[in-house]
Protein backbone atom coordinates (compact mmCIF):
# COMPACT_ATOMS: atom_id res chain seq x y z
CA UNK A 1 0.00 0.00 0.00
CA UNK A 2 1.58 3.29 -1.10
CA UNK A 3 1.27 6.65 0.65
CA UNK A 4 -1.68 7.77 -1.52
CA UNK A 5 -3.67 4.65 -0.65
CA UNK A 6 -2.85 4.96 3.05
CA UNK A 7 -3.97 8.60 3.14
CA UNK A 8 -7.16 7.82 1.23
CA UNK A 9 -7.98 4.94 3.57
CA UNK A 10 -7.44 7.15 6.61
CA UNK A 11 -9.55 9.90 5.04
CA UNK A 12 -12.45 7.51 4.48
CA UNK A 13 -12.26 6.18 8.03
CA UNK A 14 -12.19 9.67 9.54
CA UNK A 15 -15.14 10.82 7.44
CA UNK A 16 -17.12 7.76 8.48
CA UNK A 17 -16.18 7.84 12.17
CA UNK A 18 -16.30 11.57 12.78
CA UNK A 19 -19.27 12.80 10.77
CA UNK A 20 -21.13 9.64 9.84
CA UNK A 21 -19.90 9.65 6.25
CA UNK A 22 -20.80 13.26 5.43
CA UNK A 23 -18.15 14.65 3.10
CA UNK A 24 -19.75 18.09 3.38
CA UNK A 25 -19.49 18.22 7.16
CA UNK A 26 -15.96 16.84 7.15
CA UNK A 27 -14.93 19.47 4.60
CA UNK A 28 -16.39 22.19 6.83
CA UNK A 29 -14.43 20.95 9.83
CA UNK A 30 -11.16 20.63 7.95
CA UNK A 31 -11.59 23.75 5.84
CA UNK A 32 -11.49 22.29 2.36
CA UNK A 33 -13.87 21.78 -0.56
CA UNK A 34 -16.46 18.97 -0.47
CA UNK A 35 -16.03 18.66 -4.23
CA UNK A 36 -12.30 18.10 -3.79
CA UNK A 37 -12.92 15.37 -1.22
CA UNK A 38 -15.37 13.74 -3.62
CA UNK A 39 -12.76 13.78 -6.38
CA UNK A 40 -10.23 12.11 -4.09
CA UNK A 41 -12.66 9.45 -2.92
CA UNK A 42 -13.84 8.70 -6.47
CA UNK A 43 -10.35 8.83 -7.96
CA UNK A 44 -11.34 11.52 -10.46
CA UNK A 45 -8.73 11.97 -13.17
CA UNK A 46 -7.36 15.51 -13.27
CA UNK A 47 -5.91 17.59 -16.09
CA UNK A 48 -2.52 16.04 -15.43
CA UNK A 49 -3.94 12.65 -16.30
CA UNK A 50 -3.62 11.39 -12.73
CA UNK A 51 -6.32 10.64 -10.13
CA UNK A 52 -6.92 13.15 -7.34
CA UNK A 53 -5.15 12.17 -4.11
CA UNK A 54 -4.69 13.40 -0.56
CA UNK A 55 -1.56 15.46 -1.11
CA UNK A 56 0.91 16.39 1.59
CA UNK A 57 -0.64 19.83 2.11
CA UNK A 58 -4.13 18.40 2.65
CA UNK A 59 -2.82 15.60 4.87
CA UNK A 60 -1.14 18.14 7.15
CA UNK A 61 -4.26 20.33 7.09
CA UNK A 62 -6.44 17.42 8.22
CA UNK A 63 -4.00 16.56 11.02
CA UNK A 64 -3.95 20.17 12.22
CA UNK A 65 -7.73 20.56 12.11
CA UNK A 66 -8.32 17.31 14.02
CA UNK A 67 -5.40 17.73 16.43
CA UNK A 68 -3.65 14.63 15.11
CA UNK A 69 0.10 14.14 15.43
CA UNK A 70 2.15 15.27 12.45
CA UNK A 71 2.33 12.40 9.97
CA UNK A 72 -0.67 10.51 11.33
CA UNK A 73 -2.34 10.49 7.91
CA UNK A 74 0.71 8.82 6.40
CA UNK A 75 0.62 5.70 8.55
CA UNK A 76 -1.61 2.63 8.64
CA UNK A 77 -3.14 3.36 12.01
CA UNK A 78 -6.61 4.89 11.83
CA UNK A 79 -8.80 1.79 11.87
CA UNK A 80 -12.56 1.52 12.20
CA UNK A 81 -12.40 -2.15 13.15
CA UNK A 82 -12.15 -3.16 16.79
CA UNK A 83 -10.03 -6.21 16.01
CA UNK A 84 -7.40 -3.99 14.40
CA UNK A 85 -6.93 -1.67 17.35
CA UNK A 86 -4.26 -3.66 19.15
CA UNK A 87 -2.29 -4.74 16.09
CA UNK A 88 -2.49 -1.88 13.60
CA UNK A 89 -3.51 1.28 15.37
CA UNK A 90 -0.95 3.54 16.96
CA UNK A 91 -3.64 5.55 18.66
CA UNK A 92 -6.90 5.03 20.47
CA UNK A 93 -9.26 7.72 19.30
CA UNK A 94 -12.08 9.33 21.19
CA UNK A 95 -13.94 12.32 19.91
CA UNK A 96 -16.97 14.49 20.35
CA UNK A 97 -18.08 17.46 18.34
CA UNK A 98 -20.52 20.26 18.85
CA UNK A 99 -23.32 21.02 16.39
CA UNK A 100 -24.09 24.57 15.46
CA UNK A 101 -27.55 25.18 17.03
CA UNK A 102 -28.74 27.04 13.91
CA UNK A 103 -27.43 24.85 11.10
CA UNK A 104 -26.92 21.53 12.85
CA UNK A 105 -23.51 21.30 11.23
CA UNK A 106 -20.50 20.48 13.42
CA UNK A 107 -18.90 23.86 13.99
CA UNK A 108 -16.24 22.97 16.51
CA UNK A 109 -14.55 19.84 17.69
CA UNK A 110 -14.55 19.86 21.46
CA UNK A 111 -12.34 16.80 21.63
CA UNK A 112 -10.52 14.71 19.09
CA UNK A 113 -7.72 13.23 21.06
CA UNK A 114 -5.39 10.40 20.18
CA UNK A 115 -3.98 8.63 23.20
CA UNK A 116 -0.34 7.95 22.40
CA UNK A 117 -0.20 4.21 22.67
CA UNK A 118 2.78 3.01 20.66
CA UNK A 119 4.49 6.30 19.96
CA UNK A 120 7.63 8.05 21.15
CA UNK A 121 7.65 11.86 21.48
CA UNK A 122 10.31 13.87 19.69
CA UNK A 123 11.35 16.66 22.04
CA UNK A 124 13.83 19.53 21.96
CA UNK A 125 17.28 19.29 23.52
CA UNK A 126 16.42 21.77 26.26
CA UNK A 127 13.49 19.58 27.40
CA UNK A 128 15.61 16.48 28.03
CA UNK A 129 16.20 17.25 31.70
CA UNK A 130 12.44 16.99 32.28
CA UNK A 131 12.44 13.27 31.45
CA UNK A 132 13.45 10.59 33.95
CA UNK A 133 12.86 6.86 34.24
CA UNK A 134 9.83 7.62 36.41
CA UNK A 135 8.12 10.48 34.60
CA UNK A 136 8.00 12.66 31.51
CA UNK A 137 7.20 16.15 32.75
CA UNK A 138 6.57 17.62 29.30
CA UNK A 139 3.27 19.05 28.12
CA UNK A 140 2.02 17.77 24.79
CA UNK A 141 2.31 21.18 23.16
CA UNK A 142 6.08 20.92 23.64
CA UNK A 143 6.27 17.68 21.64
CA UNK A 144 7.69 18.35 18.17
CA UNK A 145 6.37 15.17 16.53
CA UNK A 146 5.86 11.45 17.17
CA UNK A 147 7.70 8.31 16.06
CA UNK A 148 6.74 4.62 16.08
CA UNK A 149 7.76 2.83 19.28
CA UNK A 150 9.62 -0.45 19.47
CA UNK A 151 7.75 -2.70 21.94
CA UNK A 152 11.02 -3.29 23.80
CA UNK A 153 11.51 0.40 24.55
CA UNK A 154 11.16 1.70 28.10
CA UNK A 155 7.96 3.49 29.10
CA UNK A 156 9.38 7.01 28.94
CA UNK A 157 11.62 6.57 25.91
CA UNK A 158 11.84 9.79 23.89
CA UNK A 159 13.53 10.94 20.70
CA UNK A 160 15.81 13.82 19.76
CA UNK A 161 16.73 15.34 16.40
CA UNK A 162 20.49 15.32 15.84
CA UNK A 163 22.04 18.78 15.56
CA UNK A 164 25.40 19.58 14.02
CA UNK A 165 28.07 17.24 12.65
CA UNK A 166 30.05 16.29 15.75
CA UNK A 167 28.71 12.72 15.53
CA UNK A 168 28.94 12.32 11.76
CA UNK A 169 29.25 10.29 9.63
CA UNK A 170 27.36 7.79 11.83
CA UNK A 171 24.72 10.34 12.80
CA UNK A 172 23.75 13.18 10.48
CA UNK A 173 21.83 16.40 11.13
CA UNK A 174 18.08 15.74 11.37
CA UNK A 175 18.54 12.05 12.14
CA UNK A 176 16.24 11.07 15.01
CA UNK A 177 17.68 9.11 17.91
CA UNK A 178 15.70 7.15 20.52
CA UNK A 179 16.74 7.70 24.14
CA UNK A 180 16.15 5.39 27.11
CA UNK A 181 16.21 7.47 30.33
CA UNK A 182 16.38 4.41 32.61
CA UNK A 183 20.07 4.88 33.35
CA UNK A 184 19.93 2.54 36.36
CA UNK A 185 19.28 -0.32 33.93
CA UNK A 186 22.67 0.08 32.27
CA UNK A 187 26.23 -0.73 33.25
CA UNK A 188 27.74 1.93 31.03
CA UNK A 189 30.83 0.95 29.08
CA UNK A 190 33.09 2.22 26.33
CA UNK A 191 31.34 2.82 22.99
CA UNK A 192 27.92 3.38 24.54
CA UNK A 193 26.14 6.35 22.98
CA UNK A 194 24.88 8.65 25.69
CA UNK A 195 23.01 11.86 26.37
CA UNK A 196 24.74 14.12 28.88
CA UNK A 197 23.48 17.12 30.82
CA UNK A 198 25.87 19.64 32.36
CA UNK A 199 25.18 22.30 34.97
CA UNK A 200 24.88 25.74 33.42
CA UNK A 201 24.25 24.47 29.90
CA UNK A 202 20.80 25.01 28.43
CA UNK A 203 20.86 21.92 26.24
CA UNK A 204 22.00 18.33 26.65
CA UNK A 205 24.67 16.86 24.39
CA UNK A 206 25.09 13.60 22.47
CA UNK A 207 28.43 11.76 22.59
CA UNK A 208 30.13 8.37 22.61
CA UNK A 209 31.32 7.21 26.02
CA UNK A 210 34.86 6.06 26.82
CA UNK A 211 35.52 4.42 30.19
CA UNK A 212 39.11 4.10 31.42
CA UNK A 213 39.41 2.84 34.98
CA UNK A 214 37.56 5.26 37.22
CA UNK A 215 37.46 8.00 34.61
CA UNK A 216 34.88 8.58 31.89
CA UNK A 217 35.32 10.58 28.70
CA UNK A 218 33.04 11.87 25.97
CA UNK A 219 34.01 11.48 22.33
CA UNK A 220 32.75 13.19 19.19
CA UNK A 221 32.75 10.57 16.44
CA UNK A 222 33.61 13.05 13.68
CA UNK A 223 37.36 12.47 13.09
CA UNK A 224 37.79 16.10 12.04
CA UNK A 225 36.15 17.51 15.15
CA UNK A 226 38.41 19.83 17.17
CA UNK A 227 39.05 18.44 20.66
CA UNK A 228 37.20 15.18 19.91
CA UNK A 229 37.63 13.73 23.43
CA UNK A 230 36.86 15.52 26.69
CA UNK A 231 36.67 14.31 30.26
CA UNK A 232 33.19 13.82 31.71
CA UNK A 233 33.23 16.73 34.14
CA UNK A 234 32.01 16.46 37.72
CA UNK A 235 29.12 18.82 37.00
CA UNK A 236 27.92 16.68 34.09
CA UNK A 237 25.89 13.50 34.26
CA UNK A 238 24.61 10.85 31.88
CA UNK A 239 20.84 11.09 31.67
CA UNK A 240 20.06 8.68 28.86
CA UNK A 241 21.34 6.03 26.49
CA UNK A 242 20.78 6.02 22.74
CA UNK A 243 18.96 2.80 21.85
CA UNK A 244 17.94 3.36 18.25
CA UNK A 245 17.83 5.70 15.28
CA UNK A 246 15.24 6.78 12.71
CA UNK A 247 16.38 8.30 9.41
CA UNK A 248 14.12 9.53 6.64
CA UNK A 249 15.32 8.68 3.13
Pair (111, 124) in one structural domain: no
Residue 103 dihedral angles phi and psi, to the nearest 5°: -100, -20
pLDDT of residue 181: 93
- CATH of residue 128's domain is 2.10.109.10
Residue 97 has pLDDT above 80, yes or no: no
**Residues 64-77, mean pLDDT to the nearest whole number:** 80
Distance CA 71, CA 147 (A): 9
Cis peptide bond prior to 2, omega within 30° of 0: no
The tens digit of pLDDT for each residue in 156-210 reads 899 999 999 999 999 999 999 999 999 888 899 999 999 999 999 999 999 999 9
Pair (64, 106) in one structural domain: yes
pLDDT of residue 242: 96
Single residue among 116, 134, 154 that ends a domain in this structure: 116
Residue 43 has pLDDT above 60, yes or no: yes
Single residue among 87, 116, 145 that ends a domain in this structure: 116
Pair (78, 17) in one structural domain: yes
Residue 49 has pLDDT above 80, yes or no: yes
Pair (110, 162) in one structural domain: no
Pair (151, 54) in one structural domain: no
Q: In the structure, what pLDDT confidence band is assigned to residue 89 with cuts at 50, 70 and 90?
A: very low
3-class secondary structure, 23: helix
Domain tally, the chain:
2
Pair (104, 9) in one structural domain: yes
Sheet with 119-122: list strands edge to edge.
145-148, 119-122, 158-161, 176-180, 236-246, 193-198, 205-212, 215-219, 229-231
**Residues 106-135, mean pLDDT to the nearest whole number:** 68
pLDDT of residue 86: 35
pLDDT of residue 98: 55
Q: Which residues of 90-113 are buried (b: 16+ CB within 10 A; e: fewer)?
A: bbebeeebeeeeeeeebeebeebb
Lowest mean pLDDT among 125-129, 135-139, 231-235: 135-139
Pair (132, 235) in one structural domain: yes
CB 175 within 8 A of CB 162: yes
Pair (140, 52) in one structural domain: no
Pair (72, 159) in one structural domain: no
Q: In terms of residue numbers, what domain contains 26?
A: 3-116
Residue 110 has pLDDT above 50, yes or no: no
Residue 80 has pLDDT above 60, yes or no: no
Pair (164, 198) in one structural domain: yes
**Residues 221-231, mean pLDDT to the nearest whole number:** 95
Q: Is the Cα torsion angle 100, 103, 104, 106 positive or negative in sign?
A: negative
Residue 53 dihedral angles phi and psi, to the nearest 5°: -135, 170
Single residue among 90, 116, 142 that ends a domain in this structure: 116
**Residues 82-98, mean pLDDT to the nearest whole number:** 41
Pair (131, 99) in one structural domain: no
Start-to-end C-alpha separation, the chain: 18
Residue 111 has pLDDT above 50, yes or no: no
Pair (22, 97) in one structural domain: yes
CB 243 within 8 A of CB 180: yes
Amino acid sequence: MDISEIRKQNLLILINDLVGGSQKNFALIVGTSPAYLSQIINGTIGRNGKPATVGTALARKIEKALHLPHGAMDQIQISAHEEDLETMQLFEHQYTWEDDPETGIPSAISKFEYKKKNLVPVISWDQVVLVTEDKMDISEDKVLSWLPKNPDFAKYTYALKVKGISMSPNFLPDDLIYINPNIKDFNFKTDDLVIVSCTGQAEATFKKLIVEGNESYLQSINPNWPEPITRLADDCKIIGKVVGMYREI
